[in-house]
Structure 1
């Protein structure tokens, strides 16, 4: 029996005006290292009052945010905290605000509750707020938790599922008694102590994946390749319209664990043969491994170019690496971009539509495993892909290994420094 409450019960609690605890058991740092868990105390914004705001501040211990859809915050004329103002895992923060009719500084529980309710009011306009203030809005990505598996999107999804419109939530990070990020056991005890429902992002993802379909199959065709014949399935995301191409070999809907590669589009590596990365080699290796087994799937994700920053930004990052000596992560940050902004929710729906449930995931990246596990799929094995380093990508591969947790299979003095790079 699960320690967590069913999503249906959590939705009912929110509808009744109660707070809930929302847990990310799958939280992972940018470098790929796992955290012990992250939890947020959550409530519906339009129901905020001085007592609930005081409870959030006193018992959670961490920052308090108001989460809403980007379109709603744009309607209110709210500004991003700075250009490319995103947190380490892609959260988008706005400039803190006060409601214009707040009479004091805006910091009291009464005043913050008023500002929170104004942010959730469908009749509010930009004239109803002043900046800066003491309540920080945070923007949820379009598509919700199936687009980005974070507390921000999860809380807005829950507000929507609880039939509040606009769906706006209040979040407060829960810290333990030492002021550190609370572990999952602490969060379970916290919920019991305060009589609150508690749910995981994983369960919310599974709930939405079961109840909604966010991809549409547009075309199907045979594709002979140097590795044998695949069948291509062309999907379109109903979240943002982007294409997802599945290369399928053999019977993959028979319930057996299936070899799967989620491949991020890389024009420079896949099509142009660039030696600055190992993407093209990994794609061909994955196709060969699937052909050797006679069954498997590759999902080719165009929107993942450059770990989600796009080909133009990727080339700008290359320029910084070559002219200023930055590594791949530092170059992204210098451009005001996250190290990795990819998400796998829509790709997971492609796999589900193809009939897959259990995966043998072809990847050297632990974040991919975390990104898929929970979307109604189960990763039963992570299968490494070998790619030989060369003088041009050896530093890139070391950065992925040392700073992002990749198992890049670099051995023997990093292959003699990629043959004396």
Structure 2
């Protein structure tokens, strides 16, 4: 029996005006190390009052935010905290605000509750707020947890599922008695102590995946390759319109664990033959491994170019690496971008539409395994792809191994330092 409550019960609790605890037990740092839990205390914004805001501030311990869809925050004329302002896990923060009709400084529980309710009011306009203030809005990505599996999106998803419109939530990070990120056992005890429902992002994502479909099959065609004939399935995301191409060989909907590669588009490596990465080699290796087994799937994700930053930013990162000696993570950070902003929710829907449930995942990246586990798919095995280092990509491969936790299978003195790079 699970320690967590069913999503249906969590939705009912929110509709009744109660707080809940939302846990990201899949959380992983950029270096690949697993975090201990990460939990948020959450409630519906339009039901906030001084007592609930005081409870959030006193018992959670972390900052209090108001989460809403980007379109709603844009309607209210709210500004990003700075250009491209994101938190460490990709959340987008706005400039803190006060409701214009707040009579004091806006910092009291009563005044913050008023501002929170104004942010959730469908009749509010930009004239109803002043900046800066004491309540920080935070923008959820379109598509919610099926696009980005974060607390921000999770809280807005739950507000929408609880039939509040606009779906706006209040959330605060739960810290333990030492002021550190609370562990899952602490969060379970916290929920029991305060009589709150507790749920995981994993269960929320699975709930949405069962009840919603966010991809549409646009075309299907046979594609002969050097590795044999694949069938291509061309999907379009109903969230942002981006394409997802599935290469399928053999019968993959028979219930047996299927060899799967989630491949991030890499124009420079896949199409131009760049030696600065190992992407093209990994794609060809995956196709060969699937052909050898006679069955499997590759999902080619165009929006994942450059670990999610796009080809132009990737080339700027290359420039910083070559001129300033930065590694791939440092270069992204120097551009104000995360080390890895990829999400696998829509790709997981492609796999589900193809009839897959259990995967043998072709990857060296532990984040991919964790990322797919939350979407109603079960990774029964992680199958590594051997790296083939060269003088141009040896540092890149070492960075992925040492700082991002990749199992790149570098051996023998990193292949004699890639033949004396």
CA contact (8 A) 2:387 2:410 kept: no
1:88 Cα deviation after fit: 1.6
**Aligned partners of 1:88, 1:300: CA distance in 2, in Å?**
26
**Aligned partners of 2:255, 2:140: CA distance in 1, in Å?**
35
Give the TM-score of the pair, scaled to structure 2.
Answer: 0.99
1:183 Cα deviation after fit: 0.6
Give 2:355's aligned residue: 355
**Aligned partners of 1:242, 1:29: CA distance in 2, in Å?**
27
CA contact (8 A) 1:30 1:88 kept: no
**Aligned partners of 2:56, 2:309: CA distance in 1, in Å?**
35
**Aligned partners of 1:59, 1:329: CA distance in 2, in Å?**
36
1:267 Cα deviation after fit: 0.3
Structure 1 residue ranges, 4+ long, deviating more than 2 angstroms after superposition: none
CA contact (8 A) 1:30 1:89 kept: no
What's the C-alpha RMSD, in Å, of the aligned pairs?
Answer: 0.6
Give 1:332's aligned residue: 332
1:387 Cα deviation after fit: 2.1
What CA deviation, in whole Å up to 9, does each residue of 1:29-52 have, x standing for no partner?
111100110100000000000000
1:411 Cα deviation after fit: 1.6
**Aligned partners of 1:403, 1:65: CA distance in 2, in Å?**
31
**Aligned partners of 1:364, 1:132: CA distance in 2, in Å?**
44
Q: Provide structure 2 residue ranges, at least 5 long, that are not aligned to the other structure.
A: none
What CA deviation, in whole Å up to 9, does each residue of 1:267-314 have, x standing for no partner?
000000000000000000000000011100000000000001111111
Correspondence 1:76-91 to 2 at 5 A: 76-91=76-91
**Aligned partners of 1:262, 1:162: CA distance in 2, in Å?**
33
1:102 Cα deviation after fit: 1.1
Give 1:257's aligned residue: 257
What CA deviation, in whole Å up to 9, does each residue of 1:56-102 have, x standing for no partner?
00000111100000000111111111111111221111111111111
CA contact (8 A) 2:31 2:405 kept: yes
1:324 Cα deviation after fit: 1.1
CA contact (8 A) 1:263 1:283 kept: yes
**Aligned partners of 1:325, 1:84: CA distance in 2, in Å?**
24
Q: Provide structure 1 residue ranges, at least 5 long, that are not aligned to the other structure.
A: none
**Aligned partners of 2:256, 2:167: CA distance in 1, in Å?**
39
**Aligned partners of 2:299, 2:255: CA distance in 1, in Å?**
18
| Secondary structure, counterpart of 1:336 in structure 2 | coil
| Range moving further from structure 2, 18-27 or 322-331 | 322-331
CA contact (8 A) 1:10 1:20 kept: yes
What CA deviation, in whole Å up to 9, does each residue of 1:372-392 have, x standing for no partner?
002110000000001210000
**Aligned partners of 2:76, 2:349: CA distance in 1, in Å?**
33
**Aligned partners of 2:112, 2:379: CA distance in 1, in Å?**
43
**Paired positions, count:** 421
What CA deviation, in whole Å up to 9, does each residue of 1:234-255 have, x standing for no partner?
0000000000000000110010
| Range moving further from structure 2, 317-326 or 43-52 | 317-326
**Aligned partners of 2:244, 2:351: CA distance in 1, in Å?**
11
**Aligned partners of 1:368, 1:223: CA distance in 2, in Å?**
26
**Aligned partners of 2:133, 2:419: CA distance in 1, in Å?**
57
**Aligned partners of 1:350, 1:286: CA distance in 2, in Å?**
18
**Aligned partners of 1:88, 1:381: CA distance in 2, in Å?**
29
